[in-house]
Amino acid sequence: MTLPPNPFDLTGRVAIVTGANTGIGQGIAVALAQAGADIVAVGRSAMDDTAAQIAPTGRRCHAIRADLSTIAPVAGIIEEARDTFGRLDILVNNAGIIRRGDSVDFTEADWDAVIDTNLKSLFFLSQAAGRHMIAEGNGKIINIASLLSFQGGIRIPSYTASKSGVAGLTRLLACEWAGKGVNVNAIAPGYFVTNNTTALREDPGRSAEILGRIPAGRWGEPSDIGGAATFLASRASDYVHGTVLTVDGGWLAR
């Protein structure tokens, strides 16, 4: 008996993952490779560890050093990905930064740095990839949102604004591109072990407060995000458009 094709299989697909050098981006890149995709790993620092984790899958990993604090690298990232692998099927907009400070003291520099990286570059990279995907009639774009796409948080005004914007842009692009064969969705991670949460995890009081709110009783690990990313990158999600999928250990359910 011939088995039906696996709808989660990404064999032959090419995925760009930004911020793939560490944390959630690295976890997503490895998961997509395990599902069969070749990876274009984009980040500000070396991607050696990511490439080493992808190597056992037998998939290819091409690293691009780029700083997405401006949109200057955007066109080159798309062009290099296509020149290297001959196609582009998946874009994961994961690169992001955070700045902490009381709103009454928050600086314009910290505001602009976060908005430029987390929102502006995300949009223009989606635009550049979207032009190619629309011409091909298919593609998957996955934006990394946040619990702060739904909640206010404290002492992170520009981060909350940027991640609320990511959720909005995800819905807008889905409305424009769903009929053109391009799926645009987002993942909203909860509290994960990443560089962005180091300060929280090293604060015993704040860490205890956070863990007490998470039904799963632990911080998320980058590997916990891989299944959601594989789903949204695969044929299994072909009729999913404009959703923001939370992967938060139950945080929003409480």
pLDDT digits over 6-37, tens only?
999 999 999 999 999 999 999 999 999 999 99
- Nearest-angstrom CA–CA distance, 233 and 240: 11
Answer whether residue 85 is part of any domain. Answer: yes
- Nearest-angstrom CA–CA distance, 109 and 98: 12
Q: Measuring CA to CA, which residue among 132, 158, 136 is closest to residue 146?
A: 158
Angle, nearest 10°, between helix axes 157-177 and 108-115? 30
Answer whether residue 140 is part of any domain. Answer: yes
pLDDT of residue 150: 98
Answer whether residue 104 is part of any domain. Answer: yes
Domain count, the chain: 1
Greatest extent of the chain over all pairs of C-alpha atoms, in Å:
67
Range of the domain at 162: 14-247
pLDDT tens digits along 90-109: 999 999 999 999 999 999 99
CATH number at residue 173: 3.40.50.720
pTM: 0.96
pLDDT of residue 1: 61
Answer whether residue 221 is part of any domain. Answer: yes
- Nearest-angstrom CA–CA distance, 254 and 242: 24
Answer whether residue 49 is part of any domain. Answer: yes
Answer whether residue 253 is part of any domain. Answer: no
For the question of residue 191 being annotated catalytic, the response is: no
Answer whether residue 230 is part of any domain. Answer: yes
Look up residue 192 and give its DSSP letter. B
Instruction: Tell me the one-letter amino acid at 119.
Output: L
How many other β-carbons are positioned within 10 Å of the β-carbon of residue 138? 13
Q: Average pLDDT, stretch 220-246?
A: 97
Per annotation, catalytic residue among 95, 128, 148, 159? 159
Answer whether residue 3 is part of any domain. Answer: no
